[in-house]
Structure 1
Amino acid sequence: MSDRVVQVAAKWSRRMQDPNFPGAETHFMLVPASELPDGLPLNANPREPQINRPVYRTVSRSLRQDDDSIPGSFHLKHRGLTLVASAVKKSRELHPAGLDVFELHFADDGMYGIVDGGHSYEIVQEANKSNAIPKNAFIKLEVMTGLDTESLVTEIAGGRNTSMQVQDKSLADLEGKFQFLKDELEVDGWVERVAWHEGDDGDIDVVDVIAAISCFDIESHPDRSSHPVDAYRRKKSMLDRFRSDPHRYHRLTPVIRDILQLHDWIAYDSENRWQEIGGVSGSGGKYGHLDMVEKVKEGRSGFEFPFLPDMRSQKRLRRPATFPILASFRLLLVQDKTAESVGRYRPVMWRNDFDEVMELWEAAGGQLLRTFYEHWDTTGRDLHAAGRSPALWGSVYKELAVIDAERRGAI
C-alpha cells in the first residue's frame, strides 16, 4: 500500500513524544498560509467543508486581512489544522525562502488526513487561488503520528469536532434575548441581513450590531467624562453585558434602527465629508489612500452596507474610526420621561428627531474625521491603537459638542 506524500514548508517546528502511547508523536508547525499545499487528505474529517456561512466568511476576511484585524495576527486567533499522518520526515530539499521542508506521509486506507480544520483548509485554498493571502499570514499545523488503531483516530476526530463550545450568541438566540431586536429590524426588512446564531446566514454578525448599539449606552457614558471604548476594543464584552442586562439595550429600541443606519452612513458618506473640508493638506483628493479608509480589492465588487439598502461603494471608513465618531452622537440622546420604564431604565429618544442627527453629521462629519486623523498622526500612526484610545474618543465627542453648541447658538 503506497503512501500519499505532501510536502509542507514550515517557519517553525517542534516535536513532542506522547506520554501514554509509545511511538506516538505530535509535530507542531507554523506554516505560511500562502505555502499551505494542495493535496492534504480529508479522509479523517467527519464533516464535509461548507464555507459559505458567516462564520467562515469572517475567517476568510481575517486571513486575507480584508477586515480590521491587526496585520499578522491570524495564527494567534485561529486554532489551525489537526492532522493524523502515518509519518513525518524532514526533507533535505531547500526552500527558496529558507523554510524547513517536511514530508507528510498519509497511508491510503481512509484513516489519515485532516481530523479538524477542514473548513479552514478550504478557506486557505480558496484564498490561495486568487493570491489573496498576505506574506505575514501563518497557520498552525498539529500533525500526529504513530496512532496505530482506527478507533483512536475516530475518537480524536469526533472529539476535535465537538469540543467547540456553543457560541454565546447562539445561546442568547436560543434564550430569546434577541427577539426585541428582530422585531425592530423586521420593520425595515433588515432581520434577514443579520446572522443571529452560529451557522446562520446574514451579512453582519449580531455581535457587531450589539457593539454599534452599545455606543449609545448613556447610562454608563452619559457625557464626556467616560466613553464606550469597549464597544470597539472588546465587543465580545458587549454581548456579555447584553445577556446579563438586556433591559439596558431594550430601552434603546426607539432609536436602534436609526443607530444602525447612522453607522452605515458614516462609513459610506465619510468621503464626501472629507472632501468637503479639503482633507488635511487642503486638496482633499487622497481620501482613498488614508489608513482609516478601506478600499475594495481589485477584481471584487463594492462594499455593501446592510442598513443602507441597495447602496455600494468602493471605499468605506474602517471600524477604528467609525466607532468613536458614531459614539459621539449619543450627545443627542435623552431619556424619554413620558415613556414606561424598561426594567430600571427609562427608554431613550433623540433630543429633537433623527433628521437633526443626520444634519449634524453633515455639518460636523468632516471635522470629526480630521480630529481622528490628527490624533492618529500624532500618536504613532497605529490605527487600532487610535480606535482603542479613550483620549481619541473624548476628543471626537468634545469636537461634536462644540459644533453642536455653535449651531444652536449656545456659545
Structure 2
Amino acid sequence: MKDTFRISSLRTVKSPSDPSVTTYFAWVNMRNLPDDMPTKVNPREVNMRTTTAKKLLDAVSNADPYFDIHNRGMVLLANGVKFESSNSTLEIDFDDEEDRYGVLDGGHTYEAIKQRRKDIPEDMDKFVRLEILVGNDLDVAALSDARNTSVQVSDIALFNLEDRFEFIKKAIKDQPYGNEVAYKDNEDKRIPIADILRLMYAFNIDNFPDDNTVPISSYSGKASVFKDFKNELAAHHLITDENKPDPKNIYLKLTPWIPTFVKLYETIEVELPDKYREYKDGKAKLGAVRGIEHKQGQTEYTQTGKEYNISSGFIMPIYGAFRALLKNTSDGKLDWYFDPIEVWNSIGTALVQNTFDTDTNPNSAGKSKTLWQANYRIVENEKNRRRIEQLEQMQF
C-alpha cells in the first residue's frame, strides 16, 4: 500500500555506516497524518489505558503547541519514499509486507494522534516528527529490539523485583555464565535475561508441539517471548509458599534443560562453518554470505572461541528444529528422545544445507515459516528413524 500526504518539512540523510540506508525526517501536521498506516511490524501491543498513554492523549489535544519537540515521534520502515516539492506531498510505499514495513516504533503516539487530533484547538497546528528508514537489507528484528526497549526492559525489571525469575537463577547458578545474566535495567552483565527466555521459548512444546506452528518470535523479537513467559506465569501462577511456579508451567519444566539449550545453540554457532564447508565441498566461502562476518570472537554464554559472527537469523531456525526431540514424561517433566548434540552431529550438514538453500538473507531466513517447518521435519525424520531402529533391535 501507499500513503500520500502533505508535510511541513523534510530532511534526508544517508547513513555514514551504510550508504544504502536513507533516513527521511518529516514533520507532519497531525491533521494530515494518514490513519491507515500498517502497524503489524511493531511488536509492542498498543494499550491506551496506561498512565503514559493517557498523558499522550492529553498531549495531543491540549493547548501546548510543542508536541514535535517534546515527543520523540514515530519510526517507520518503508519500501520507498517520494517527495513532490511542488505541493509538499510525501508518498510512502509500504509495499504489501506488513511484517516488514510500517510503524516500527511510536505506536502509542500514532494511536493517540488518531484518537485526539479532532480535539486540537482550531486555531492551532500541532506537528509530529516521522523518522522513515528505507534500505533493502534493513534487519527488522534488530531494529525492533533496538527501538522498542523501554517498556520491555521495565517489565522485565519489575518481574525481577517480584522474584519471578528466581527458579531460572537457581537453575543456572552453577553454570559458568550463571552470574553473567542481567535481570535489572542497565545491569553491567553480558547476557540479558531475554536471551535465556528466547532459548526456552523455542522449545515451548506446549505452544509449538509440531511443524504446524513455529516459534519464529524466538528470533524476531523480545516482546512476544516475554509476553508468553508472562502469560504462562499468569496461567500457572507462582506458588507463594514455595516461591516457584505451578508444576504445569512449561517454563518451569524447561528450566533444568537451559544448560543443554545453551550447549546446543553454541555448538551450532561454532560448528556451522564446518557443516557449511561439507555442504559446499569446501568450494564456497561462508564469509561472503550476508549476515556472516569472518571474525574471531567468543560465544555469548560460555565464551567459547568461534571463527565467524553468524546472524541468529540463520542459527535459530536450525536450533528450534530440535524441539522435535523433546517429550513430556509420565511424571510431568520433559526429557529427550535422543541427545540433541548427537543428532546435530549426524544431520547438522543437512540442516545447514536446507537453511542456506532456502534463503541467504538472515532476516528473511529467521522469519521464514517454511524454513522452520522444513528444518523441524529433518530432525523429526531422524528421530523417527532412530526410534524404528531401536524397536528393530529390541525384536532380536
- Shorter chain as denominator, the TM-score bin is 0.5 to 0.7
AA paired with 2:335?
Answer: M
**For the pair shown, which has the larger CA radius of gyration, 1 or 2?**
1
Cα deviation code 1:174-216 (max 9, x no counterpart): 1111111111111213222212121112222111210111111
**C-alpha contact (below 8 Å) 2:318/2:375 kept by paired residues:** yes
The residue that corresponds to 1:389 in the other structure is 368
Q: 1:316 to 1:361 in 2, by over 3 A?
A: farther
Partner of 1:351: 337
Q: 1:20 to 1:335 in 2, by over 3 A?
A: closer
1:366 maps onto 2:349 in alignment: yes
Q: Distance in 2 between matches of 1:187 and 1:272?
A: 31
C-alpha deviations, 1:309-355, integer Å up to 9, x for none?
4x2224133211211111111122122323xxxxxxx2211225xxx
Which residue in the other structure is 1:251 paired with? Answer: 253
Matches within 5 A, 1:59-98: none
The whole-number CA distance in structure 2 between the counterparts of 1:382 and 1:390 is 14
Alignment coverage as a number of residue pairs: 262
Separation in 2 of the partners of 1:239 and 1:259? 18
Post-superposition shift, 1:258?
0.5
Cα deviation, residue 308, structure 1: 2.6
Distance 2:208 2:151 in 1: 35
Identity of aligned residues (%): 22
CA contact (8 A) 2:325 2:383 kept: no
Structure-2 separation of matches of 1:371 and 1:324: 10
Please report how far the alpha carbon of residue 284 of structure 1 lies from its aligned counterpart in structure 2 after TM superposition: 4.2
Matches within 5 A, 1:110-189: 167-189=154-176
Q: Does 1:312 align with 2:298?
A: no
Contact preservation (8 Å) 1:371, 1:396: yes
The answer to whether the Cα contact below 8 Å between 2:337 and 2:383 also exists between their aligned partners in 1 is no
How many Å separate the matches in 2 of 1:164 and 1:259? 27
Distance 1:385 1:207 in 2: 22
Distance 1:78 1:304 in 2: 35
Amino acid across the alignment from 2:158: L
Summarize the alignment of residues 273-288 of structure 1 with structure 2, pairs less than 5 Å apart: 273-277=275-279, 279=280, 282-288=281-287
Contact 2:202 2:218 in 1 (8 A): yes
Give the drift of 1:394. Answer: 0.6
- In the alignment, is the contact (CA less than 8 A) between 1:242 and 1:248 conserved in 2? no
Output one character per residue of 1:18-51: Cα deviation in whole Å (capped at 9) or x when no partner. Answer: 98468x7957999xxxxxxxxxxxxxxxxxxxxx
TM-score norm. by structure 2 comes to: 0.57
Residue 224 of structure 1: SS of its match in structure 2?
coil
> Which residue number in structure 2 is paired with residue 203 of structure 1?
190
Q: Separation in 1 of the partners of 2:250 and 2:321?
A: 19
Q: Which amino acid aligns with 1:365?
A: G
Q: Is the 8 A contact 1:177 1:243 kept in 2?
A: no
User: In the superposition, relative to structure 1, how do residues 294 and 254 fare at CA in structure 2: closer, same or farther (>3 Å)?
Assistant: same
Alignment match, 2:271: 269
Q: Which runs of 5+ in 2 are unaligned?
A: 1-10, 14-23, 31-59, 75-98, 108-134, 139-149, 234-248
Deviations 1:134-176 (A, max 9, x none): 9x99xxxxxxxxxxxxxxxxxxxxxxxxx97861111111111
User: Aligned pair in 2 of structure 1 residues 77, 208: CA closer, same or farther (>3 Å)?
Assistant: farther
RMSD between aligned alpha carbons?
A: 3.7
Tell me which residue corresponds to 2:220. 233
TM-superposed deviation, 1:12: 4.0
Q: What SS class does the counterpart of residue 199 from structure 1 fall into?
A: coil
- How much does 1:217 deviate? 0.9
